[in-house]
């Protein structure tokens, strides 16, 4: 084999190696859409601001907000180039298996679970994880899901300011109120929601959740409302007994809403004493 031919062969082998690294390495797997979600009080009913309730909920893998798995499943089904990343401040050694059990048993689509690798809480953990995800994945769109019990609204606001070139939608579950125990209310430009119905409605308006998938989510919530009791302690819920959603404003207008949707909105108004109302005529 001649020297030039040997060099060419070596170059091709080296090129093939680096191509395989770029293609196979998770750090270089680009996703068109990233869903970045908190778990406790966003998907799972935890009551994080209560020490007793949050401890009791740690090993509970059955209590979640009705319709949330179905919303994320719809996103996964209808957006093939999408990834789901769950970010938790909880220590990995203590809660990793519990969080994985919760996500998998309740059929939440999952790409990766990100947790605190140490024992001391790192208040900047979510920013670090999200920053690396956006830098590595280079998504066209990010869907942020969180709640107003901890830092989610502030973290997501910071990320949108750091990455203004990346389109994003931020949804904050309003389980607490600034008139009560919430120190981290929904920020300007973010969308507050109380049930999975409002989340599905908004995602549908933005072309991310098909209209054909919405009625099933609405029915799940409506059916659960008929079963729900303020004395219920665990399992599927629409409104946990401790929920304080006085900050919530209904933002969706419909000329011909279904009877179920009208009932859901009335239930939200009753629970939250909302300051905004939909135009239902």
- Percent share of the chain, pLDDT over 90: 68
Residue of 236 and 241 predicted with greater confidence? 241
In CATH, 30-272 is 3.40.640.10? no
Specify the range with the lowest mean pLDDT, choosing from 110-124, 125-139, 157-171.
Answer: 110-124
Q: Are 72 and 84 in contact (CB under 8 A)?
A: yes
For tokens 């502030």, name the residue: 154
For the chain, the domains span 30-272
Q: At 68, is the pLDDT very low, low, confident or very high (cuts 50, 70, 90)?
A: very high
Contact 149, 175 (CB under 8 A): yes
For the stretch 251-261, pLDDT in tens is 998 889 999 99
What Rg do the C-alpha atoms of the chain give, in angstroms? 21
Q: Where residue 161 falls among pLDDT bands split at 50, 70, 90?
A: very high
pLDDT top residue among 58 and 231: 58
* Cβ atoms within 10 Å, residue 184: 18
Degrees, nearest 5: CA angle 255-201-30: 145
Measured torsion, CA atoms of residues 46, 251, 140, 39, in degrees rounded to the nearest 10: 0
d(CA 68, CA 66): 6
Contact 209, 75 (CB under 8 A): yes
Q: If DSSP codes are grouped into helix, strand and coil, which group holds residue 181?
A: coil
pTM assigned to the model = 0.85
């Amino acid at each position: 084999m001649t020297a030039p031919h040997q060099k060419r062969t070596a170059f091709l082998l080296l090129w093939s190696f680096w191509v395989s690294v770029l293609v196979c390495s998770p750090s270089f797997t680009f996703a068109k859409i990233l869903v970045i979600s908190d778990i406790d009080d966003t998907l799972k009913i935890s009551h994080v601001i209560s020490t007793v309730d949050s401890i009791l909920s740690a090993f509970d893998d059955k209590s979640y907000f009705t319709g949330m798995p179905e919303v994320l499943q719809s996103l996964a089904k209808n957006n093939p180039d999408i990834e789901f990343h769950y970010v938790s401040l909880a220590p990995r050694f203590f809660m990793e298996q519990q969080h994985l059990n919760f996500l998998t048993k309740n059929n939440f689509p999952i790409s990766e679970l990100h947790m605190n690798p140490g024992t001391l809480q790192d208040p900047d953990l979510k920013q670090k994880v999200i920053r690396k995800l956006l830098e590595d994945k280079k998504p066209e769109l990010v869907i942020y899901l969180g709640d107003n019990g901890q830092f989610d609204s502030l973290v997501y606001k910071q990320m949108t300011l750091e990455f203004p070139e990346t389109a994003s939608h931020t949804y904050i579950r309003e389980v607490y109120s600034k008139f009560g125990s919430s120190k981290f209310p929904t920020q300007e430009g973010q969308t507050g929601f109380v049930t999975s119905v409002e989340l599905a409605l908004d995602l549908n308006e933005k072309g991310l959740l098909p209209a054909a998938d919405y009625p099933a989510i609405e029915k799940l919530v409506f059916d659960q409302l008929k079963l729900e009791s303020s004395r219920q302690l665990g399992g599927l819920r629409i409104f946990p007994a401790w929920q304080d959603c006085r900050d919530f404003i209904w933002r969706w207008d419909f000329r011909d809403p279904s009877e179920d949707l009208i009932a859901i909105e009335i239930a939200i108004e009753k629970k939250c004493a909302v300051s905004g109302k939909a135009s239902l005529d």
